[in-house]
Amino acid sequence: LLILALVLSFSSAQAQYLEEFEEKVTEFTLDNGLHFIIIERHDAPVASFYTHVDVGGADEPVGNTGIAHIFEHMAFKGTHYIGTTNWEEEKKVIDQMDEAYQEWLREKYKSNPDSDLLQEKWNRFQELQEESKQYVVNNEFSQIIEQNGGTGLNASTGADLTNYFYSLPSNRAELWFNLEADRFKNPTYREFYVEKEVVREERRMRTESNPIGRLVEEFLAVAYTAHPYGRPVVGWDSDITAT
């Protein structure tokens, strides 16, 4: 009886807590489809933001595994206005670099590639990569957040979602709206190939050099033979190279 009384008391307290919590929740959807869930807490003058994007590794087309995770990284590289000294000129070099990389891939995957031509195309790609650096303002997106008192800047990618999150002083909340709108409306592929190598290193560290990581990857591949959940969110190394 005593245990039953304690359980009922606990359940009643939990129900009351949930009711009080629900009263603090506000939900609304903007005309552009962005859905907000706001929970007010006045314990500290801090606003914490968590952006949930309804797309992840399971949404990737075959042959492009890892692209959702790479895009997560790209979201920190700035926009047309942040992270660059001259976006119009930078974009020209990025477009040339993309074409040079595709030319290198086409030669690389020929049945009998010309080694001299392959090296020539790779050299051209690297030259363009070096040229693009002159326009890059490193880490400007994160620096803006830090200079305004922001903390906890990070993101994660899963099979069905991608999350972006950080906190700001409450009197800087408007900055989040400006930055978040800008990076999703005006994304760039700045330092895309540099970041691909970062992702490949993540794969080597978490999967290829980690027995548990390898086991989980192989287990999921067998468990979901004909389903996107069987593909690693970080991507297959061959797909990352070919992207």
Chain centre distance of CA 122: 27
pLDDT of residue 3: 59
Model confidence at 41, pLDDT cuts 50, 70, 90, reads confident
pLDDT one-digit tens code per residue, 224-234: 998 999 999 99
Where does residue 89 rank: exposed (0-12), middle (13-18), buried (19+ CB within 10 A)? middle
Task: Please give the structure tokens belonging to residue 40.
Answer: 């007010």
Residues 181 and 219: their CA atoms lie apart, in Å, by: 39
Is residue 78 packed enough to be buried (19+ CB in 10 Å), middle (13-18) or exposed (0-12)?
A: buried
Query: Domain map of the chain by residue range?
Result: 46-83+139-243, 85-135
| Percentage of residues of the chain with pLDDT beyond 70 | 94
A 10 A CB-CB count for 140 gives 16
- Residue 17: the pLDDT is 72
What is the model's pLDDT at position 10? 57
pLDDT single digits (tens) 150-199: 999 999 999 999 999 999 999 999 999 999 999 999 999 999 999 999 99
CA atoms of 104 and 134, how far apart (whole Å): 23
Q: Is the pLDDT of residue 2 over 70?
A: no
The structure tokens listed for 153 are 């800047």
Q: Is the pLDDT of residue 1 over 60?
A: no
Of 1 and 176, the structure prediction assigns the larger pLDDT to 176
pTM for this structure? 0.85
CA–CA dist 160, 60 (Å, integer) = 10
- Rounded Cα distance between 206 and 223, Å, is 20
pLDDT at 91 over 80: yes
Distance CA 240, CA 235 (A): 6
Q: Which CATH homologous superfamily contains domain 46-83+139-243?
A: Metalloenzyme, LuxS/M16 peptidase-like (3.30.830.10)
For 181-206, b where at least 16 C-beta lie within 10 A, e where not — what string? ebbeeeebbbbbbebbeebbebbeeb
Beginning with the edge strand found earlier in the chain, give each strand of the sheet holding 162-169 in spatial order: 46-53, 162-169, 151-157
Task: Please state, in angstroms and rounded to a whole number, the distance separating the CA atoms of residues 87 and 89.
Answer: 6
d(CA 243, CA 237): 10
The answer to whether 180 and 49 are in contact (CB under 8 A) is yes
Is the predicted pLDDT of residue 92 greater than 70, yes or no? Answer: yes
Between residues 23 and 125, the one the model is more confident about: 125
Spatial separation of the C-alpha atoms in residues 178 and 172, rounded to whole Å: 11
| Average pLDDT of the chain to the nearest whole number | 92
The mean pLDDT value for 26-30 works out to 94
Judge residue 115's burial from the number of C-beta atoms within 10 Å of its C-beta, 0-12 exposed, 13-18 middle, 19 or more buried: exposed
Residue 118 CA to residue 103 CA, distance in Å, equals 9
